[in-house]
């Protein structure tokens, strides 16, 4: 990747977002980092600067949809352009459908789906005016098939595919490229920060998550896919086989999903 590319990463204070920030920093990118925790963002910023990047941080809670346009304008103004937006921030879920408060459903949809939608609607005209750009977005294998205890999470990730595949189709000729990032199990804090049915934090690392690949390994594959503008990249381990089972053996997929221990 040429130097001086400007890359905006949401969910940049930990996990996949943090690891991708360091990977891009090594290539001397201009980085805009967004997450909810200023202290953690400042730590990531310092490491990115030490790796040779230029860096700006924008602390923001992506459930605040009303101020999303201002956030996006500030991100664009940080370096005068955005070549790549990696919309990675998200919240997972641990709760059965009937027990999950609607407020939890709404928050998950706001952060995982409506925030990327609102950012993209604001960002697209500016990207097109500047000759194009790449929008990468983190979905999930739970965006490929329903998953126990993840009704809202899976819904938000399914919705991302519908929206961003449409963006890809509509604006391809204006040099807009979309990269769908589809992780399975990656060893991050996503299960720790997942919302229980009543909105409280799950507060622990799930066994399956603990066995996942490292965020650094995931980042290497994701950054490569973004640079190559691949339409989709699957990231994870053996669990990715379920994507292909769903595609080619849907009846078997439904039986297997019913047997998943999702905690």
Cite the active site residues: 153
DSSP string, 22-40: HHHHTTT-EEEEEES-HHH
Chain position carrying tokens 């998953």: 147
Terminal-residue alpha carbon distance, the chain: 39
Sheet of 176-183: strand order equals 54-59, 30-35, 6-10, 84-87, 133-138, 176-183, 232-235
Chain position carrying tokens 């999950």: 100
CA-CA-CA-CA dihedral for 147, 149, 151, 155, to nearest 10: -50
* Cα distances (Å, whole numbers) of residue 263 to 27, 96, 204, 205: 38, 11, 10, 10
Residue 37, token pair as written in the block: 């925790």
Rounded Cα gap, residues 60 and 94, in angstroms: 24
């Amino acid at each position: 990747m040429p130097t001086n590319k400007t890359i905006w990463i949401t969910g940049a204070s930990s996990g996949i977002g943090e690891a991708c920030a360091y990977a891009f920093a090594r290539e001397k990118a201009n980085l805009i980092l967004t997450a909810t925790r200023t202290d953690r963002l400042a730590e990531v910023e310092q490491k990115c600067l030490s790796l040779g990047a230029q860096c700006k941080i924008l602390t923001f809670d992506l459930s605040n949809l009303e101020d999303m346009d201002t956030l996006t304008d500030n991100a664009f103004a940080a370096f005068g352009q955005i070549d790549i937006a990696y919309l990675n921030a998200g919240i997972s879920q641990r709760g059965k459908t009937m027990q999950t408060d609607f407020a939890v459903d709404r928050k998950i949809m706001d952060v995982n789906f409506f925030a990327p939608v609102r950012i993209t609607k604001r960002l697209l005209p500016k990207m097109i005016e500047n000759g194009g750009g790449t929008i990468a977005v983190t979905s999930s294998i739970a965006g490929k098939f329903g998953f126990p205890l993840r009704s809202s999470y899976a819904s938000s990730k399914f919705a991302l595919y519908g929206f961003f595949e449409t963006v890809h189709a509509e604006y391809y000729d204006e040099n807009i490229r979309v990269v769908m990032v589809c992780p399975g199990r990656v060893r991050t804090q996503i299960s720790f920060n997942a919302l229980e049915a009543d909105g409280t934090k799950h507060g622990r690392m799930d066994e399956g998550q603990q066995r996942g690949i490292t965020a650094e390994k995931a980042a290497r594959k994701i950054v490569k896919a973004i640079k190559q503008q691949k339409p989709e990249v699957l990231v994870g381990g053996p669990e990715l086989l379920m994507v292909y089972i769903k595609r080619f053996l849907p009846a078997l997929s439904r039986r297997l999903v019913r047997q998943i221990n999702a905690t």
